[in-house]
Amino acid sequence: MTDQADTLRSILRTRLPDKLPPRLGIAASGGGDSVALMHLLHEIAQAVQVDLFVATVDHGLRRESAAEAVRVAEQAAGLGIPHETLLWQGWDGTGNLQDQARQARYRLLVDWANRNDIPAIALGHTADDQAETVLMRLGRAAGVTGLSGMSYAREHDGVALLRPMLGITRQTLRDYLSAIGASWIEDPSNHDLKFDRIRAREALSGLEPLGISVRSLSRVAENLAQAREALARYTQESARRVAAVYGGDICVDCNGFELLPAEIQRRLVVGIIAWIAGPGYPPRASSVDQAVTTIQDGQTLTLAGCLLIPQGDKMWFCRELNAVATEIAAPQEIWDNRWILSGPRTPDAEVRALGEAGLPQVPDWRVLGKPRKALLASPAVWNGENLLAAPLVDYSNGWTAKIAPQRPEFYSSLLSH
C-alpha cells in the first residue's frame, strides 16, 4: 500500500507547480476523488510546509448536502486542516440548474480563496472525468482545444485552479482510500442517466472492446494539449507579425492575416476578442468564421462586445460602445474589466465611456488616425456632463489610463487559449 501511496503522491507532485504556494486550497465535495485529494495533499504538504485549507460548497439542492459538508469538515479536522462551508442560495428557478450550480461553485470557491489569501485551489478531477469530457466533446465535433480536455492548471480571477489528478483513475483513488481506511460519500446523481456525463460514463464501458477506454481517451487529451500549446505559440508568433496594439485596440494587417493557416486565423481572432472583451464565454465557432471572412472582405462587424472596423488594408478590433455605455467606475477602480484611470484628485469625477457626447470635445482626435467609432468606447473622466480627460485619445489633462495589472499583456494572453 505504501508503494501505491508513494506512487500517487509522486504523480501529484509532478502535476503540481514546482513551487507550491504557502497557502493551498482544496475543493472537496466529500466524494472519493476529493477525499483522496485531501489525504494525498496532506501528506505532500507536511513535507514541504504548505498550509492547506478545505472548502465545500453546499448547493442546498439535496436534503443531505448540509450533513455531507459537515462530514467533510470532520475529515478535514481529522487531518488538522481548517474547513469552511460555502452556501449557494443563488438559484432563481430559471435556466439550466446544473450549469448555474457549477458556475456558482467556481465563483464561491474563487471568492473564498481571494478572501483568505489563497492563490491556488486544487480540484479532484480524475482521468475518468477527463475521458468523459473528451467523449462528450467528440459528440460536439470539437477541435484541438475541446479535445485536449481540462487542463492541469488554469487561472480564474487571479486564482490558479489546479487539477493534479487528471492522470489517475477514479478506481485507483478509491483503492487508495480503502487501503488507508478512509471513507467517502457516494453522490446519488452519479447514477442519474439524465446527465450527459453519466451517459458518457456508461457508454465508455461499452467502447472498451474497441480500445476506447479511460486511459486511451485521457492520453488523447494529453496529446492534443501538446498540440494546443504548439498552436498557441504559432498564434503568438503570428500575432507579433500581423497584429499591433494601440492602447486597448488591436490593428491587424489584413495581407499578413490572409497568409496564415485557417486554424491560426481563428485562434488569433478568438485571442484578440478575449483580450479586448475580457474573460467570459468565447464566441461561437460560426461567429469566429464570420469574423475571419469580415477581415478578408474588409467589412464591418460587431462581435462579442467588440467592433471590427476596416481601414485601408488594416482591420481594427475595438471595444463596442454599447458594451460599455452604462458602465461607471470611480477613478482608481477598474472600468470595463481592464482600465484604471488615475489623475488629479477631483471631487465627483467618474469614469465612463467617451461616447458620442465626449468625442466632439476632444480637439485632436483625428490626428490619432483611428476610425472614429474605435474611439467612442475609450475610457474618459467626467464630472457630470463635463469631459475632464480621455487619456487614450490624447486628451489627458494630467490623467493616465493603464491596463489593470491582473490583465495579461496581449501577446502573452495568446498562450492561454
Ligand X SMILES: Nc1ncnc2c1ncn2[C@@H]1O[C@H](COP(=O)(O)OP(=O)(O)OP(=O)(O)O)[C@@H](O)[C@H]1O
Annotated binding site for ATP: which residue ranges?
Answer: 29-34
Establish if 102 lies at the interface with ligand X (CB under 6 A): yes
From 8, 24, 57, 239, residue interacting with ligand X (rule: CB under 6 A): 57
Of the pair 123, 204, the CB lying nearest ligand X is at 123
Which region, judged by CB under 6 A, interacts with ligand X, from 26-34, 40-48, 301-309, 379-387?
A: 26-34
Residues in 363-382 that interact with ligand X by CB under 6 A? none
Q: What angle do CA 312, 316, 321 make, to 5 degrees?
A: 130
From 12, 24, 28, 166, residue interacting with ligand X (rule: CB under 6 A): 28
Of the pair 129, 320, the CB lying nearest ligand X is at 129
Contact (CB, 8 A) for 313 and 253 = yes
Of the pair 217, 308, the CB lying nearest ligand X is at 217
Establish if 29 lies at the interface with ligand X (CB under 6 A): yes
Cα separation, 185 vs 33, in Å, equals: 10
**Cβ at position 33, least distance to ligand X in Å:** 4
Which region, judged by CB under 6 A, interacts with ligand X, from 21-29, 264-272, 308-316, 331-339?
A: 21-29
**Residue nearest ligand X, CB atom distance:** 124
From 8, 16, 24, 27, residue interacting with ligand X (rule: CB under 6 A): 27
**Cβ at position 264, least distance to ligand X in Å:** 28
Establish if 236 lies at the interface with ligand X (CB under 6 A): no
**Cβ at position 137, least distance to ligand X in Å:** 11
Establish if 105 lies at the interface with ligand X (CB under 6 A): yes
From 16, 20, 76, 124, residue interacting with ligand X (rule: CB under 6 A): 124
Establish if 336 lies at the interface with ligand X (CB under 6 A): no
Cα separation, 211 vs 217, in Å, equals: 9
Establish if 362 lies at the interface with ligand X (CB under 6 A): no
From 25, 36, 44, 56, residue interacting with ligand X (rule: CB under 6 A): 56
**Cβ at position 221, least distance to ligand X in Å:** 12
Establish if 125 lies at the interface with ligand X (CB under 6 A): yes
**Cβ at position 6, least distance to ligand X in Å:** 22
Of the pair 106, 234, the CB lying nearest ligand X is at 106
Establish if 129 lies at the interface with ligand X (CB under 6 A): yes
Which region, judged by CB under 6 A, interacts with ligand X, from 14-22, 39-47, 124-132, 402-410?
A: 124-132
Establish if 123 lies at the interface with ligand X (CB under 6 A): yes
Contact (CB, 8 A) for 52 and 81 = yes
Establish if 34 lies at the interface with ligand X (CB under 6 A): yes
Contact residues toward ligand X (CB under 6 A) are 27-29, 33-34, 56-57, 102, 105, 123-125, 129
